[in-house]
Amino acid sequence: MKTARLILVAGATSLLLGVAACGAGANTTEVCNEAMKAFTDYSTKVGQAAGNLEGINSETQALATQLKGLAGKADGDLKSSLTKMADTWATLKIDPANPSAITEFATKTSEATQELGLACAG
């Protein structure tokens, strides 16, 4: 389960690096900064959850809710990216009986990193 935790934390960290490029209009910058904080908090909480899959799943759902709220404050590509991310995170669940879920999470995190980074930089 340490591997799962490392993949989750690495995925969330790579997402933070993409979000750090935020910087368009004032509203976009504010929403991007809030998204970055949400991911920073999420990464910390997932790291603290260690082998507690229910804790990780709970934090993942909480992040999905935050992203949905941020999407409501955003416009254009950023709104679209945050909505897509919220929908993705809402469906992610780590299940010990399904090891491929961890790989799926890492893949979706990488895709989200690129998309959100572009939306925030635009």
Q: Please tell me the distance from the alpha carbon of residue 71 to that of residue 86, in angstroms, as a whole number.
A: 8
CA distance 81 to 74: 10
9 and 107 Cβ atoms separated by less than 8 Å: no
3-state secondary structure of 98: strand
Closest-CA residue to 15 (of 109, 118, 120)? 109
pLDDT in tens, 44-95: 887 887 778 888 889 889 999 999 999 999 988 889 889 988 988 898 887 7
What predicted TM-score, i.e. pTM, was given to this entire model?
A: 0.74
Q: How many CA atoms lie within 13 A of 62 on its CB side?
A: 13
